[in-house]
């Protein structure tokens, strides 16, 4: 019995504790991300935003969550009940599972997978199932149209995201996300790979169905797309899953192009300042990681508040005729430059 | 080890059950969803074997791309399962023969592996030393050196299949409205907008 506790129970509980240590702050972060999102749009549109519940409206997300929790879950009579209920759960779970491999700080990662980048790519491509299943199971025209659009959109932009990731991996020589961050010491990848970073960021907007690519839920033409039949907790799960996916894309941008937990002041531009080294050593990497992620979240909201929605054929054209060739060229050029100047990592 | 064994049996049971449900469920969309579950659990089995690269490729290629398109098509086609059951008896012999051939082949492989004498040598050559190089690296090392021709041939076959599919399905149909992006981009306010002065009380 003692052996059972030592070998199976304690490590299991330890892993469970670490999982909770990621999931609970992440849920809180999502609640406040929704609040910040609304505040940022409000500020850009010269409104006040949520300001009633709690001081400065800080408790607005929790009030909304409680309200949704207490409402009745309505399943349409024509809906395919099992799939209808699994879809939002799937979307929520998939969005959270991906955080297992994100390195928050040096060594501060739940699962330091050797194929971390591939895992992230694989899990983020699963998000489309929640949308397709909900659209089909709702048995409603608006929901189905939204799901069809979303499926086409997410599959198209995944291709260019894949090539962008290949470009980054060529410069790293490893699929481990911690290695990706460590390879950026001194020079963050967004400087040498700037065009690729732009492609990645726009594709990330499309992959997470954010404006200007929020066609799956285009309010003006599809009411709310795939979410239209959902109410109560199932709707809340969609909402949480969507924002978690957005935060994940921000964290991915930080990790792949902006040096993850590395300090922005630890380079030749700042190192001559007296005391800078002590400051860099003092600041925990987690702070930098969270600040960078939050900055990208701000950019996401900023874009949402300032640009109009794309037309569907323009969206498809951008994905297949512009980004796909450009990212392919980027892979070839990067590989060519690395080989020509003998800069390949791990060259043996 | 017990945990690994339990996980293996859990994944294996789910995979087999999902595989059965693919052919047993009445709704074609449910069949595809069970197929995705079967892919996912076999990805999990790959992870248990220590082949994490293959597991991730399984997720990305089969679930992330192939099955999405599959689901997409099945949903759009609106297949009636009653109509599909019509030809069941007619195709039963062909399907049975194919199934039997596959089963016999599998049986041969398993029996030669189990009773064919010392197989540890084959196993040793097929398996890279995991402690020395990573899974991904060891695949990369042989794929682009020893198996370069097979790899390129597979690529060419896929390319031919892709071009063939495009050629077969892409035909010019009359009455299709297409957007011309260059024309749209080159529109100016002068050519697109007309301002008219309307005298009060008269309308246009």
More confident residue, B19 or B69: B19
| Tokens 């599919």 found at | B165
pLDDT-based confidence at B98, cuts 50/70/90? very high
In the predicted model, is pLDDT for residue B104 greater than 90? yes
pLDDT-based confidence at A326, cuts 50/70/90? very high
- With beta carbons less than 8 A apart as the criterion, state whether A242 and A88 touch: no
Q: Which residues of B touch A10 (CB under 8 A)?
A: none
pLDDT-based confidence at B84, cuts 50/70/90? low
Distance in Å, alpha carbon of A294 to nearest chain B alpha carbon: 28
Q: Which residues of A touch B138 (CB under 8 A)?
A: none
Predicted confidence at residue B30, as pLDDT, reads 87
| Residue A237 CB burial class (10 angstroms; 0-12, 13-18, ≥19) | buried
In the predicted model, is pLDDT for residue B131 greater than 90? no
ipTM summary value: 0.80
Interface test with A, best of B56, B59, B178 (most A CBs within 10 A): B56
Task: Give the three-state DSSP class for B130.
Answer: coil
- With beta carbons less than 8 A apart as the criterion, state whether A176 and A244 touch: no
Q: Which residues of A touch B181 (CB under 8 A)?
A: 314, 317
Predicted confidence at residue B118, as pLDDT, reads 63
CA distance A231 to A239: 11
Interface test with B, best of A122, A132, A314 (most B CBs within 10 A): A122
The predicted model gives A96-107 an average pLDDT of: 86
Say how many CB pairs under 8 Å bridge A and B: 69
Can you list the positions of beta strands (E) in chain B? none
> Is residue B56 within 8 angstroms of chain A, CB to CB?
yes
Predicted confidence at residue A198, as pLDDT, reads 92
The nearest alpha carbon in chain A to B58 belongs to A122
Long-range contact pairs involving B27-34 (C-beta distance under 8 Å, separation at least 24): B27/A80, B27/B81, B28/B74, B28/B79, B28/B81, B28/B84, B29/A80, B29/A83, B29/A136, B29/B71, B29/B74, B29/B75, B30/A83, B31/B74, B32/B67, B32/B70, B32/B71, B32/B74, B33/A83, B33/A133, B33/B71
Predicted confidence at residue A347, as pLDDT, reads 46
pLDDT-based confidence at A325, cuts 50/70/90? very high
Contact criterion met (CB < 8 Å) for B63 and A148: no
CA distance A164 to A198: 10
> Is residue B64 within 8 angstroms of chain A, CB to CB?
yes
Distance in Å, alpha carbon of B125 to nearest chain A alpha carbon: 23
pLDDT tens sequence across A263-291: 877 777 777 777 777 777 777 888 888 89
Helix (H) or strand (E) holding A233: helix A232-257
Cis check: omega of the bond before A212, within 30 degrees of 0: yes
Q: Identify which of A102, A126, A122, A160 has the alpha carbon closest to the alpha carbon of residue A292.
A: A102
| Tokens 């990305």 found at | B60
Across chain A, mean pLDDT equals 85
Interface test with A, best of B68, B134, B183 (most A CBs within 10 A): B68
Can you list the positions of beta strands (E) in chain A? none
Q: Identify which of A214, A202, A234, A248 has the alpha carbon closest to the alpha carbon of residue A95.
A: A248
Contact criterion met (CB < 8 Å) for B64 and A158: yes
pLDDT tens sequence across A154-201: 888 888 898 999 999 888 888 888 888 888 887 888 888 899 999 999
Interface test with A, best of B1, B47, B64 (most A CBs within 10 A): B64
Least confident of A163-177, B155-169, B189-203: B189-203
Contact criterion met (CB < 8 Å) for A125 and B65: yes
pLDDT tens sequence across A117-159: 888 888 888 888 888 888 888 888 888 888 888 878 888 888 8
Contact criterion met (CB < 8 Å) for B136 and A175: yes
Contact criterion met (CB < 8 Å) for A317 and B181: yes
Contact criterion met (CB < 8 Å) for A115 and B181: no
Distance in Å, alpha carbon of B70 to nearest chain A alpha carbon: 11
Contact criterion met (CB < 8 Å) for A155 and B181: no
> Is residue B21 within 8 angstroms of chain A, CB to CB?
no
Predicted confidence at residue A348, as pLDDT, reads 44
């Amino acid at each position: 019995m003692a052996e059972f506790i030592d070998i199976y129970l304690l490590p299991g509980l330890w892993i469970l504790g670490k999982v909770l240590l990621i999931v609970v702050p992440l849920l809180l972060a999502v609640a406040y991300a929704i609040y910040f999102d609304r505040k940022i749009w409000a500020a850009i549109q010269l409104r006040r935003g949520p300001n009633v519940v709690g001081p400065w409206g800080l408790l607005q997300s929790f009030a909304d969550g409680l309200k949704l929790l207490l409402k009745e879950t309505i399943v349409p009579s024509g809906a395919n009940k099992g799939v209808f209920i699994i879809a939002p759960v799937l979307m929520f779970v998939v969005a959270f599972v991906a955080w297992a491999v994100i390195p928050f700080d040096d060594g501060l990662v739940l699962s330091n997978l050797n194929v971390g980048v591939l895992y992230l790519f694989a899990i983020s491509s699963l998000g489309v199932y929640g949308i397709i299943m909900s659209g089909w199971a709702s048995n409603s025209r608006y929901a189905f149209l939204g799901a069809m659009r979303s499926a086409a959109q997410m599959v198209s932009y995944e291709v260019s995201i894949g090539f962008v990731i290949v470009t980054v991996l060529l410069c790293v020589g490893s699929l481990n996300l911690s290695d990706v961050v460590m390879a950026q010491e001194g020079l963050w990848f967004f400087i040498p790979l700037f065009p690729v970073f732009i492609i990645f960021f726009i594709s990330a907007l499309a992959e997470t169905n954010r404006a200007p690519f929020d066609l799956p839920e285009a309010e003006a033409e599809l009411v709310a797309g795939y979410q239209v039949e959902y109410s109560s907790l199932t709707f809340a799960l969609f909402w949480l899953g969507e924002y978690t996916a957005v935060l994940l894309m921000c964290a991915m941008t930080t990790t792949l192009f902006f040096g993850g937990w590395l300090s922005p002041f630890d380079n030749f531009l700042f190192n001559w300042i007296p005391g800078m080294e002590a400051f860099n050593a003092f600041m925990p990497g987690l702070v930098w990681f969270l600040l960078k992620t939050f900055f990208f979240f701000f950019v996401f909201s900023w874009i949402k508040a300032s640009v109009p929605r794309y037309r569907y054929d323009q969206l498809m054209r951008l994905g297949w005729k512009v980004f796909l060739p450009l990212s392919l060229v980027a892979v070839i050029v990067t590989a060519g430059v690395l080989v020509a100047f003998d800069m390949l990592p791990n060259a043996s | 080890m017990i945990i690994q064994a339990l996980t293996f049996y859990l994944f294996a049971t789910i995979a087999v059950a999902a595989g059965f449900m693919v052919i047993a469920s009445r709704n074609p969309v449910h069949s595809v969803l069970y197929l995705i579950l079967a892919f996912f659990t076999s990805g999990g089995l790959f992870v248990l074997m220590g082949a994490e690269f293959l597991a991730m490729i399984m997720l990305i290629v089969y679930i992330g791309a192939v099955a999405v398109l599959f689901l997409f098509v099945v949903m759009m086609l609106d297949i009636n399962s009653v109509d599909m059951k019509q030809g069941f008896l007619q195709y039963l012999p062909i399907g049975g023969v194919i199934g039997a051939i596959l089963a016999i082949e599998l049986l041969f492989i398993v029996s030669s592996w189990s009773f064919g004498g010392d197989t540890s040598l084959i196993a040793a050559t097929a398996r890279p030393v995991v402690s020395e190089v990573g899974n991904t690296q060891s695949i990369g090392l042989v794929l682009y050196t020893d198996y370069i021709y097979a790899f390129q041939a597979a690529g060419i076959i896929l390319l031919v299949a892709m071009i063939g599919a495009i050629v077969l399905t892409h035909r010019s149909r009359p009455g299709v409205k297409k957007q011309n992006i260059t024309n749209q981009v080159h529109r100016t306010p002068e050519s697109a907008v007309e301002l008219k002065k309307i005298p009060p009380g008269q309308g246009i």
